[in-house]
Amino acid sequence: TAVVTGISALPWLIKPLYGFISDSFPLFGYRRRSYLVLSGLLGALSWSLMATLVDSKYGTEFCILLGSLSVAFSDVVVDSMVVERARGESQSTSGSLQSLCWGSSAFGGIVSAYFSGSLVEVYGVRFVFGITALLPLITSAVSVLVNEQRTPGSLKRHEETTPVSLKGHIPLVSQGFIESSKQNLIQLWGAIRQPNVFLPTLFIFLWQATPQSDSTMFYFTTNQLGFTPEFLGRVKLVTSVASLLGVGLYNGFLKNVPLRKIFLATTITGSALGMTQVILVTGLNRQFGISDEWFAIGDSLILTVLGQASFMPVLVLAARLCPQGMEATLFATLMSISNGGSVLGGLIGAGLTELFGVKKDSFDNLVYLIVLCNLSSLLPLPLLGLLPKENPDTMITENADVEMKSN
């Protein structure tokens, strides 16, 4: 299971590369539409093979890798389209666009969590794989409707401007690709090193890098409390609903609030509510007549709503920092930096778990680990000054300066 999980995660570790490809090399004249079609076809191929031909672990791992690559690439392309649409808009409009995207994702998670288990039980896994293979084709079909201006290819430009023989095109085209890549890398670096891009990115990284105890809590609920896979599936359904509620909370009440206030409020509230896990670990909930299962569901619901609501400003901020022409590359880079902070937080949490002597069958010091992890989430708050002080709508003017300097 760990190997399969690791393989499926590999394509997500190089998302900036997909953004760079999409920004730098138009496919059939389009930077977005063509790659969406290609990603959909790749995803349909991987799940079709899983539904029909694959019967070995290596074939399964290969198909999972292809499917994950399809989703990761299309995710980068769609993110860049949202960034393009949000450019020049108010924070409210940008927040609404991100809310629409993540709300749709949460709704898909609800449908998947509700139907996948029952369909597998009734019809079998290959039938479910076959149904899944149809979904990426919807992406390919809908991408045709994307309103995108055609970009002339490098070869065509050279044909129009350079009167040389066909053999002479090969080095010229290669040189054009290299020059285009070089310019995009310079533009990316020029954007990242601007203070109003670098400093907020640094805060987001540090905010995500605080230690986590999620993995330890998972082993506690399964090994100590005896939560079954069926019950964990129900919790997954609840968290999907909670994600949708979190998106609605942000879109309805928080999208016009300055970033510093959002991070201050959600971080303090999240740290306080995270302490409720101590109640589950110590069994205090049972003294009040609340079963472990119901308490875990309620706890997951509340924490997921808050977590999703606090993560939405990160997406909005990242989208509004991207200069024109580098939407896919820079947004994917910013998200990878954020994910890198989360990975670092997980590693620090693992180190603290080892330090406290908490193991799969020994949870004596788990309470102290939970308290420390939740208190440490408050550490980035003194660095809130790295975020824009004024209303983020005024960042539109500043972003124009970033775009000019990076160009």
For residues 168 and 271, state if they share a domain.
no
Q: Is residue 120 part of a domain?
A: yes
b/e sequence 303-335, b meaning 16+ C-beta within 10 Å: bbbbbbbbbbbbbbbbbbbbbebbbbbbbbbbb
For residues 33 and 167, state if they share a domain.
no
For residues 41 and 68, state if they share a domain.
yes
For residues 13 and 66, state if they share a domain.
yes
pLDDT of residue 337: 84
For residues 164 and 226, state if they share a domain.
no
For residues 241 and 322, state if they share a domain.
yes
At 30 the three-state DSSP class reads: strand
First to last CA, the chain: 45
For residues 322 and 344, state if they share a domain.
yes
What does the alpha-carbon distance between residue 335 and residue 204 come to, in Å, rounded to a whole number? 10
For residues 24 and 172, state if they share a domain.
no
* CATH code (residue 11): 1.20.1250.20
b/e sequence 94-105, b meaning 16+ C-beta within 10 Å: bbbbbbebbbee
Q: Which amino acid is at 52?
A: T
For residues 236 and 284, state if they share a domain.
yes
Q: Is residue 321 part of a domain?
A: yes
Range of the domain at 395: 2-148+193-406
pLDDT of residue 154: 45
For residues 45 and 167, state if they share a domain.
no
Q: Is residue 187 part of a domain?
A: no
27 strand-pairing partners: 30
Over its C-alpha atoms, the chain yields an Rg (Å, rounded) of 23
Q: Is residue 49 part of a domain?
A: yes
Specify the number of domains making up the chain.
2
What does the alpha-carbon distance between residue 76 and residue 322 come to, in Å, rounded to a whole number? 13
Q: Is residue 346 part of a domain?
A: yes
pLDDT of residue 94: 67
For residues 174 and 270, state if they share a domain.
no
pLDDT of residue 155: 41
CA distances from 67 to 53, 133, 331, 358 (A): 15, 10, 22, 36
Sign of torsion over alpha carbons 19, 21, 26, 28: negative
Q: Is residue 334 part of a domain?
A: yes
Q: Is residue 76 part of a domain?
A: yes
Q: What is the pLDDT along the chain (407 residues), one digit of tens a residue?
A: 545 656 677 788 788 888 888 887 888 888 888 999 999 999 999 999 998 888 888 888 889 889 989 998 998 888 888 777 766 666 666 667 777 777 887 788 778 777 776 777 778 888 888 988 998 999 889 888 888 888 765 444 444 444 444 444 445 445 655 676 677 777 777 777 888 788 888 998 999 899 988 888 888 888 888 887 778 777 888 888 888 888 888 888 887 888 888 889 989 999 999 999 999 999 999 998 999 989 988 888 888 888 888 888 877 777 777 766 666 777 788 888 887 888 888 889 889 998 998 887 788 899 999 999 999 999 999 999 988 875 544 444 444 443 433 33
For residues 76 and 166, state if they share a domain.
no
CA distances from 379 to 175, 317, 351, 376 (A): 48, 21, 18, 5
Q: Is residue 188 part of a domain?
A: no
